[in-house]
Structure 1
Amino acid sequence: MKDIHPPRDEHRTTGRKLVVLSPTVNIPAMTSALSAVGMDVVVASERGGAVPPETMATADAIVFDRLHMMVVAEPSVAALAVMNELQARGILLSVEDEGFVYPLSAPGPAGQGDATWGLGAIGVEQSPFAGRGIRVAILAAGFDPSHPDFQGRKVVHRSFVPGETAQDASGVGTHAAGIACGPRTPSQGPRYGVAHEAELYIAKVLSDQGSGADGWIMNGIHWALENGCRVLLLPLGSARPPVEAYRAIGERALAQGAILVGVAGHGSHRARGDIQPTGSPANVVTILAVGAVDSSLQVADFSNGGKIDVVGPGVDVLSSWPLPRAYNTLSGTSAAAAHVAGVLALLMEADPHASALEIWRRMLATARQLNAPASDVGSGLVQAPVSATTAP
């Protein structure tokens, strides 16, 4: 399989801007002011919680009101004057370039081998929980809804990529969804999924060519939150420094009871002494950053370091794959993060009244400590809950 990942130093921008709005903004008044100077402004909640991809491509401004975020195309002189006034009044908190992110997983050896070693390492089979009643969103390259292991399950899917359906062409979205929420008893081979009774929401935010604009991802996050998803897996990233827009999004998701799970990235070559920093968007404090370990619980050679919260199984991991192949073995921090997303669903089922921040802290507190620095493994290896808990 061809490696579709860009060079680690590639920083592509779209020409649009990411704007963080004040939580106290009067959105109708703001959109009215922008519309008055000729801007075509679209509000996500007025479009059923998500903006059609084609509208995203043509609108002058897209407002994700649940997130208090906005994506803006190059404004006219008059529109720029209005935006400068809004910024001076503290309504626009930050303005950054919109960029691209990429899938973060890579092919592993063929065959099953001990591909499901990860479920044993994190204690899934000893857990009485299955993610029942929890909605998990996978924001990646789509999903293959015809896969036999997901027939009869509630799987809602939607594409946020202009001109493309939610069908997974690369396979990495189906692979991540399988690890996080695959069945207890698959049609072939060993069990590979964690939260087998969770409800799956698939947001295709990466194109078939292997990249996705920040605005597509924000559109998918807004849609997932609008649909009550409490775990949002983002198995994607880039080598950018921290982006304020993602910090604000993570904070606002936590306030709404949801946790965004990001990936450290796999640009390192630790055997050669090359450890790259955690990539965006996981390198902000409000998004959970996940690194990868192998079956010996050693840090994966490719796993980035620095800002790491927890690690998961990420080397030679078997999971679902688009038909006709049906299954594949991959390595990457995306596979590790998918295990973590599934465990979060189990923890939320174990204590349905706990806040997102309480669940986050509980996951870190119960992680298995490893003999490695926190900059490589954070609090340690994520562990599935074995009994019901009560928020303190």
Structure 2
Amino acid sequence: MTNKVSAAAISEKDSAAGKGYSRMAFISFLLIVLAAVFWFLRTHDSAANRIPKNEVSVMPVPVVTTLTSQRDVPVKFKTKGTVSPIQIVEVRPQVAAAIKTVHIKEGQFVAKGERLFTLDTRAEEANLAKSAAQLAKTRVELHNAMRQLHRQQELFHKNFISQAALDVAENQVELLQNQLKFDEAAVQADRVTRGYGEIVAPIAGRTGAIQVYPGSLVRPEASLLVSITQIDPIYVSFVLPERELATLKQALAKGEVTLSAQLNLSDKQEREGRIVFIDSAVDTASGTIQIKAEFANADGKFWPGMFANVTLIASILPKALTVPTQALQTGPNGQLVFVVGEDNKAMPHRVGVKLIQEGIAVVEGIEAGQCVVIEGAQHLRAGTTVNPSRTCGQVSDSDQGGLRSDSGNKNTPSPSLLPSL
């Protein structure tokens, strides 16, 4: 019995010793892991602290720069216009007759006074011959009456006839003189009527569809023979906002308006024109005013009904400071540009934008000749060091974003900050 108790006690002691050893092993492992983590973090922080602060800074940002420029900038309005003829004439006969000859073809260009149609005028020629014969008869009768009056006057002075007989002779001469005027007018009227048989072009232009053929019977007013459309010169009609009317009138008074039109054709040809009409009233529904401009059209490329791009220059901003629109950035306080200094540090400068057109912006708030960023500005902050692709002094004209003079460039969009036309 005593031996059994001793064995059990020894077994319990061995079990307790095993549990204590396992606990110590776990604690030792945990301490080793914590020591390793501490060593790693301490080593990492020490390596980071050994890096100089100037090596932590961001590398220079590559950017593209250009110079601001100062020049006179024309303010351009661009709108759509419609080509319309100056006049369209409907050719109709003035006498009732049959068509004898058609001298033109459909779509032909005719000059003013060119013969178009010949009518059968035999009846008019007969009437003219009749009135001419009557005129000749009256002239003979008047000649005889004047000789008779001369004889009567001689007899009256010799007291061979009375005053009444002399009055009869004088009245006869006066009557025949008036008859002569009547007959002369009749001959002239018949000549005009006969002339209606030759129908000529009242204006120069292009003929439309011919409505009659040889043998067709035509009547005054009822029968349309052909239409002629004048296309050289030609009109382009367009509208402008009413608030621009005062500026336009001032520019017209000074002769400073430049106007050009371009068709939507492959050659993109432009031509200069002049304003010939400004409507007397503003359209209350749209707030615009109708304007017509006249353009030379000898080559016939401007066709009635076509749409044309109209560019109007009515004012100029003198000595305006310009930058490419790519240089503009939007900040919390408005528009800004990044200006690069001699130390290649980019600093934001707030600017006021007066005008945007044709890839350029007219701004205020910076000076001419400053170096501004036009590409890569989205990666910049105040004081960022930049690496320009070239120095501003080396920038080419192609990088100016349209900053060169517009005197030779007439195809210019309208300013985006002005009312849309």
TM-score, reference length from structure 1: 0.20
Normalized per residue, the structure richer in strand is: 2
